[in-house]
Structure 1
């Protein structure tokens, strides 16, 4: 893992407020950590990690630990609890995954390590990282468990004896209550992005899980900030933790223009095609997350007439070198790649880098866009962001300390104007062709024989060149008219900052509907817990919530009226404080008709 494009400083301190659990692992460990915290003069081989894990790190090109890895791995290897203060993108996943994998007993087919993450996306990312570092450890099973996924897959993985569980708090509690997850043999617990979990209302869930784990286990807590609630958890559940702080200054080259496009996942290819038609580029690299995606996207681009090729970890070295050679000499203009496959790639003619799949860590983002803007040339970096991935965009902006400008997707008129211009330019270019005289004679003969105007013949030839494809894009269909809003009944006093939420929805015109959930005051739920659980399980943002009214035995929540069927189904099975919320559209007071309150059209299953 190179840190050449990332300047990071790490400081190590200890929290001495609790009694030490291991006398042999206190001061000497902390002293050695302080002296090597920058990570500049050590390698992973110096950290005493398992040889199989070390080999996997070499396979993915990691050689030098980042500051948080250099500061965190030794105390975790020594058995200490750790509190790490670090932003997303500093390499903290490897900082806790490497020691856990090095010390795990694979022969025991029970959960030995539990990683709690605030969102399903992060849980999947962490589980994927564990799998990458455990490539050479046979018999190890890693299982992500999160809301929105069928229970059958998770139950099967638990029955097989997964040793590492990566999950979101709500789904972990579900399995604990069902008796399908046994944490009695747990030895390692990680709270990843703990401050985010608390912001999303998971504090009670996290403390409930902590209370169900053995008293003597190793705990690592990672957080970007240290609010009072995190400090309380640290003092209550961690034993004499080593506290590590990483201050990050991640920079990107000033000659790279950075933009992003907000686009739903299913519309990415359409958006990409429009951008290609309008944006001038010499050569580009497009980054995706998986090996399979490189092949699929390259094939789809070739079908649309673009010269594209894929490289990934499964491609043999000779083929990789041949493909890169084609990119250098202009036979290929678009390279679709994964992070690992693109390591060390240096091609001067790359004018654009497109993050087709947004990276989960800022270090990857900085390395990716560093493939353009070489040799002092200007470069362009474009990032595709799905609506539910905006938190990753914000994390990149925070870490790089510079905003990324939003780019509007080219309109139908923009694309058509560019097609007309290119068509005219192609005519101009062909006027200098050496075969022009031959084809002029053939056209003149055709004109005399058939008495057809030259302009019609030229138009017919242009149609032939399109091979039956439409030349201009059709105008986008107009948005369907909104249904008239029903008069609203007076509402009870607002809670949970609904004034700001309602103001947001008035400004954006987002259509809302009221849903009923089966938790209320008697369940001791707070608005933050409702927002956190529903946002996490349904992939929603805080701005998607309107008024929340907590009643004695149920609550009413305003959500977007156009929730997808699968989202509604996932939310029905969501639990808050261990209670199944059974989300359903609220029909309003008895005797009232008209569907869900708020005037919205409920489009989910009834």
Structure 2
């Protein structure tokens, strides 16, 4: 696989800056092979499946070749569907955001043609359209292509499958003969090769060869997870397993930084690794990860090249990679030295097509799994605690502690109240206490009806615990989530996510628990801060507040 960083491309600083804003560091294989060739002006036929970064592969050279002083159409990009037209247009606008005078316009069926004619009068230099609608404008003479410099066919095989061959021929025959012709297709059937032979000259053929999976010891899973739930599902997977070292992959540097902050706010030992960090910083992070001082490493594909650790237990594809080959490299970070490993990929909606492509090219089975439940997490924590207890029992040396248990049993024996706790019950009490203090970064939304029924008894129990329950004047109507509240507390205090107890989100306000010893710090640092656009007020919750919460919450909202 050719390696090429975007900042090494022979393109304008404006384009490099736009690519950097998009969060991309390294060109995908198809981009690394196609961009330099297209920039030279060659005709190209490239075989590349969906999801490999094709749009940047032809979009960057197209934008670089635009003369912003020329108001005529210079580039025409044909796509099979309006969805792809819209998607391509959005990416080209992002790529050209710093290029003054470069204008693009999508034209496709289903949109009013008068609106498109108005857009064409604004003199766009780049047209992205479906063959049928481009033909309509050619017939109406509202689109003229006599000054076209570059013609691009994206997903050419799909256009032929949809019956656009005749339209493509008419369009190709109506453009200048000296234009550059770039063709991208997932497959290269004879009909595609015929088009290339007929309309291209001095053609450069590009084909990205995919590697097969070479890490059979990795068990692969995927979860159908939408963007808004990714942090929570990742937290549950971590909590439900005993992974010592994990690597989480994101596609951009910003995603790496954002996720790292989210996980740290939830109490996880996580560090970021990406290309914006100085080499000294990256070396320091890697050393902490290798030595077990950091449990979770969040990285981009480029930065991950420095990860040479044999005992990584799990790899998470928080974002699906842009190229199937990257998937192989990512999950190869685990299952090394004949150890077993696991990979977990998050996908939803259109990403499922990309996941199928990955499965096809790696010739491996990626199994569907459901996110762990809170009960799964509790069971795992219980198993971990019991495992540690067994080790302590095997080690012995318990005489010092047994006398305290015996003393407790004597003190608790009460003939009058008929209370006779057993040593098994004492052990169960210690287990319950250990569970309460266990580290859990995942959260659980509370059922409002259940909370209302149990509120008084819940509040009674808080008075005798080591936790204090606080009222905050922000709730679900402010679109507050449990993870956002945890991040808010962690950002303004030294209270870690793992120290925060139960969170109850109601419509107009919320309750949360923190250790009593941190109460002063919370009141000093959180009050009058802004959360979800509101000035924060905190109060220690009591029975009266619990019983009259709705009225108090309503008054606060009206004030």
Q: Work out the CA distance in 2 between the residues paired with 1:337 and 1:421.
A: 30
Q: 2:361 matched to which residue of 1?
A: 399
Task: Determine whether 1:250 maps to 2:219.
Answer: no
TM-score, scaled to structure 1? 0.54
1:55-98 deviation digits (Å, cap 9, x = unpaired): 889997769x9699658844x44534333334457775565345
Q: Contact conserved, 1:89 with 1:363, CA < 8 A, in 2?
A: no
Q: 1:32 matched to which residue of 2?
A: none
- The CA deviation at 1:109 is 7.2
Q: Work out the CA distance in 2 between the residues paired with 1:324 and 1:330.
A: 10
What is the RMSD of the two structures over their aligned residues, measured on CA atoms? 5.6
Q: Secondary structure of the equivalent of 1:403? A: coil
Q: Secondary structure of the equivalent of 1:381? A: strand
Q: 2:259 matched to which residue of 1?
A: 297
> Of residues 318, 326, 330 in structure 1, which corresponds to 2:288?
326
Shift in CA distance, 124/276, structure 1 to aligned 2, threshold 3 Å: farther
Q: Secondary structure of the equivalent of 2:2? A: coil
Q: 1:464 matched to which residue of 2?
A: 433
Structure 1 stretches of 5 or more lacking a match? 4-42, 478-606
Structure 1 stretch displaced more, 171-180 or 462-471:
171-180
> Of residues 92, 96, 120 in structure 1, which corresponds to 2:58?
96
Shift in CA distance, 112/330, structure 1 to aligned 2, threshold 3 Å: farther
Q: Secondary structure of the equivalent of 1:350? A: coil
Q: Contact conserved, 1:278 with 1:410, CA < 8 A, in 2?
A: no
Q: Work out the CA distance in 1 between the residues paired with 2:187 and 2:437.
A: 59
Superposed, which structure 2 residues align to 1:258-407 within 5 Å? 258-265=219-226, 266-374=228-336, 377-400=339-362, 402-407=363-368
Q: Contact conserved, 1:69 with 1:91, CA < 8 A, in 2?
A: no
Q: Contact conserved, 1:2 with 1:62, CA < 8 A, in 2?
A: no
Structure 1 stretch displaced more, 326-335 or 439-448:
439-448
Shift in CA distance, 158/459, structure 1 to aligned 2, threshold 3 Å: farther
Q: Contact conserved, 1:90 with 1:248, CA < 8 A, in 2?
A: no
Q: Secondary structure of the equivalent of 2:237? A: helix
Q: Secondary structure of the equivalent of 2:209? A: strand
Shift in CA distance, 277/62, structure 1 to aligned 2, threshold 3 Å: closer
Q: Work out the CA distance in 2 between the residues paired with 1:414 and 1:470.
A: 14
> Of residues 447, 464, 471 in structure 1, which corresponds to 2:409?
447
1:224-266 deviation digits (Å, cap 9, x = unpaired): 3234654575577x35462625372523324442523241314
Shift in CA distance, 216/91, structure 1 to aligned 2, threshold 3 Å: same
Structure 1 stretch displaced more, 458-467 or 169-178:
169-178
Structure 1 stretch displaced more, 170-179 or 415-424:
170-179
Q: Secondary structure of the equivalent of 1:248? A: coil
Q: Contact conserved, 2:107 with 2:127, CA < 8 A, in 1?
A: no
Q: Work out the CA distance in 1 between the residues paired with 2:259 and 2:361.
A: 29
Q: Secondary structure of the equivalent of 2:314? A: strand
Task: Determine whether 1:187 maps to 2:149.
Answer: yes
Q: Contact conserved, 2:320 with 2:345, CA < 8 A, in 1?
A: yes
Q: 2:383 matched to which residue of 1?
A: 421
Q: Contact conserved, 1:145 with 1:172, CA < 8 A, in 2?
A: no
Shift in CA distance, 206/258, structure 1 to aligned 2, threshold 3 Å: farther
Shift in CA distance, 242/306, structure 1 to aligned 2, threshold 3 Å: same
Superposed, which structure 2 residues align to 1:135-214 within 5 Å? 139=100, 186-199=148-161
Q: Work out the CA distance in 1 between the residues paired with 2:399 and 2:125.
A: 76
Q: Secondary structure of the equivalent of 1:250? A: coil
Q: Work out the CA distance in 1 between the residues paired with 2:138 and 2:302.
A: 37
Q: Contact conserved, 1:112 with 1:187, CA < 8 A, in 2?
A: yes
Q: Looking at CA atoms only, which structure, 1 or 2, has the larger radius of gyration? A: 2
Q: 1:569 matched to which residue of 2?
A: none
Structure 1 stretch displaced more, 293-302 or 53-62:
53-62
Q: Work out the CA distance in 1 between the residues paired with 2:96 and 2:235.
A: 38
1:162-221 deviation digits (Å, cap 9, x = unpaired): 866667779989999999999786532322222234446776887798799777632211
Q: 2:369 matched to which residue of 1?
A: 408
- The CA deviation at 1:329 is 0.8
- The CA deviation at 1:370 is 3.2
Q: 1:2 matched to which residue of 2?
A: 2
Structure 2 stretches of 5 or more lacking a match? 414-418, 448-559
- The CA deviation at 1:346 is 2.4
Q: Contact conserved, 1:184 with 1:213, CA < 8 A, in 2?
A: yes
- The count of aligned residue pairs is 430
Q: Work out the CA distance in 2 between the residues paired with 1:174 and 1:273.
A: 52
1:358-392 deviation digits (Å, cap 9, x = unpaired): 12322322332333344565543332232432221
Task: Determine whether 1:226 maps to 2:188.
Answer: yes
Q: Secondary structure of the equivalent of 2:304? A: coil
1:253-311 deviation digits (Å, cap 9, x = unpaired): 24442523241314444443443345443322111223333233334434554322223
Shift in CA distance, 321/247, structure 1 to aligned 2, threshold 3 Å: closer
Q: Contact conserved, 2:25 with 2:275, CA < 8 A, in 1?
A: no
Q: Work out the CA distance in 2 between the residues paired with 1:417 and 1:302.
A: 24
Q: Work out the CA distance in 2 between the residues paired with 1:44 and 1:446.
A: 66
TM-score, scaled to structure 2? 0.58
Shift in CA distance, 340/254, structure 1 to aligned 2, threshold 3 Å: closer
Shift in CA distance, 396/277, structure 1 to aligned 2, threshold 3 Å: same
